[in-house]
Amino acid sequence: MDNELLERLKTEVSVYGKALGNVGKLRLIGAVSRVLGLFLLIFTIVLCSLALLTFVAVAATDAMAQCMPLWAAALIVSCAYIVIIVVAVVCRRSLFIHPFIALLSKQLIGTQEQLDIETLKAEHEAELQTVRLETRIDNATRELNFYADLVTRLWSWLSGKLRK
C-alpha cells in the first residue's frame, strides 16, 4: 500500500511538472513570437522607407533633368510603397506574429487567440494538478492524524487498564 501511494504520488508530480512545462513553453512561444513579429515589422518599415527614399530621390533627380514623364512614374511607385507600409502596419499580426506562433508551436497553434486559449488550458491543467496534489497531501495528513490519534487513545486505554 505504501509503495502504491508513492507511485501514485510520483505519477501525479510528474504530470504536474509536465503541465507547468507546457505553460512555460506556451508563454515562451507567445513572447518570442511577439518579439520576432515586432522585429520583422520594424525591419520591413525600414526597408520600405529606404526604398521609398530611393525612389523619391530618383524621381526628384529625373524630374529636374527631364521635366515630366519619368518622375511621375517614380512617384506612383513611391505611393505604392507607402501603401505597402500602411498594409504592413495594419496587418502586422497576420503577416508577422501569427506565422511565428505557428512556426514555434510546430503548426499546432496558428493565431494569438489560439495561443491564449492553449495557455489558459495549460494553466488550468496545472491548477488541477496542484489541487489534486494538495488533496492527496491533505488526505494523507488526515489519515496519519487519525492513526496517531487512534494509537494515542489505545495507549491511554491500555495504560489506564494496567494502572488498575
Average pLDDT over residues 109-116: 70
Distance, in Å, from the CA atom of 112 to the CA atom of 94, rounded to the nearest integer, reads 9
Q: What phi-psi label fits residue 24: left (phi over 0), alpha (psi between -120 and 50 degrees) or beta? A: alpha
Tens of pLDDT, residues 2-20: 677 667 777 877 877 787 7
Is residue 60 predicted with pLDDT exceeding 70?
A: no
Higher pLDDT, 153 or 64: 153
Residue 57 in 3-state DSSP? helix
Is residue 1 predicted with pLDDT exceeding 60?
A: no
| Spatial contact of 129 and 140, defined as CB atoms under 8 Å apart | no
In sequence order, which ranges of the chain are alpha helices (DSSP H)? 2-65, 69-90, 92, 98-104, 112-163
Considering the chain, what is the average pLDDT of its residues?
Answer: 77
Predicted model pTM: 0.46
* pLDDT value at residue 108: 57
| Spatial contact of 122 and 19, defined as CB atoms under 8 Å apart | yes
CB count within 10 Å of CB 132 equals 13
